[in-house]
Amino acid sequence: MTYPARTGSRPERGQIASRPVLRRYGRCVALVQSLSALFLFALTLALSAATMAQAQTPPRKLVVLGDSLSAGYNLPGSAAFPAVLEQALRQKGIAIEIVNAGVSGDTAQGGLERLDWSVPDGTDGVILELGANDALRGLDPATTKKALDAIISRLKARGIPVLLAGMYAPRNLGAEYVTRFDGLFPQLAETYGLVLYPFFLEGIAGDRALNQADLLHPTAEGVRVIVRNILPTVERFLATLPAKP
């Protein structure tokens, strides 16, 4: 009996054996792709929920009551301490609004005199940065302390917590003056149980690269250094604030 001749070439054994492997590989790829898509979808939902939650959370409202160091002397508003601090906190997911209530040349007494209109009702906390001009003018540290004490006392009576930013006196004013002035900030912090940042200009004082030509006021980069250094203290302060209703 004669069989009809086979047409075409005979498949190689390797080709026949690879088909199940390819099918299994294809199924694995499809499964991985499905799981990846599911993970990305879940991640997108989680991020969207977090964003919505942050948007729905009423922002904390802080006021920086200070002088030219926080007001942003010779700088655009966006480069001043309150704006840069607000941006840094928002980047950490903290809903916050910070008002710049700095006035160039202000002393502690000047801050006291404008306290009520500088810190409106609804303020959740105050960063108190005053005293540098008192020291530059050689004012009696007792006068500075009395004014700061009155500011803190009045804010406390209104239920507004305070973060106290300390200042150091110029060393050429003499050891006695320096001791009295530098010491008034930790004394007030202890008396009222305040969060204290010992030296507002920490990390930039005397640095020509981070200060303007007068060597007194920070440059934009100097402000960023101040914010970077004070940020952990501000976060600790925010953690002490009462929960918003």
Average pLDDT of the segment spanning 101-111: 98
130: left (phi over 0), alpha (psi -120 to 50) or beta: beta
Average pLDDT of the segment spanning 160-185: 98
Neighbours of 116 (CB within 10 A): 11
Q: How do residues 114-152 score in pLDDT, each as one tens digit?
A: 999 999 999 999 999 999 999 999 999 999 999 999 999
Burial class of residue 94 (count of CB atoms within 10 Å of its CB; 0-12, 13-18, 19+): middle
32 lies in some domain = yes
Average pLDDT of the segment spanning 13-33: 60
Average pLDDT of the segment spanning 25-41: 64
Residues 42, 133 within the same domain:
no
5 lies in some domain = no
> Do residues 116 and 150 touch, judged by C-beta distance below 8 A?
no
Domain final residue pick, 56, 71, 92: 56
134 labelled catalytic? no
217 lies in some domain = yes
Name which of 163, 148, 195, 146 is nearest 63 in CA terms. 163
214 labelled catalytic? yes
Average pLDDT of the segment spanning 97-108: 98
Residues 236, 146 within the same domain:
yes
Global pTM? 0.78
| Structural domain harbouring 50 | 12-56
Q: Are strands 162-165 and 60-66 parallel, antiparallel or unpaired?
A: unpaired
Please, which pLDDT band fits residue 244 given cuts at 50, 70 and 90? confident
Residues 145, 31 within the same domain:
no
107: left (phi over 0), alpha (psi -120 to 50) or beta: beta
Q: How do residues 55-77 score in pLDDT, each as one tens digit?
A: 567 999 999 999 999 999 999 99
The confidence score (pLDDT) of residue 226 equals 98
* CATH code of residue 233: 3.40.50.1110
Q: How do residues 197-225 score in pLDDT, each as one tens digit?
A: 999 999 999 999 999 999 999 999 999 99
Residues 128, 35 within the same domain:
no
Residues 21, 51 within the same domain:
yes
217 labelled catalytic? yes
User: Secondary structure of 115-164 in the HEC alphabet?
Assistant: HHHHCCCCCCEEEEECCHHHHHCCCCHHHHHHHHHHHHHHHHHCCCCEEE
Catalytic residue among 70, 106, 124, 217: 217
Sign of the dihedral defined by the CA atoms of residues 110, 240, 166, 84, in that order: negative
135 lies in some domain = yes
Residues 75, 170 within the same domain:
yes
Comparing 34-48, 89-103, 150-164, 199-213, the range with the smallest average pLDDT is: 34-48
245 lies in some domain = no
2 lies in some domain = no
Catalytic residue among 67, 68, 106, 124: 68
Residues 138, 222 within the same domain:
yes
Give the number of domains in the chain.
2
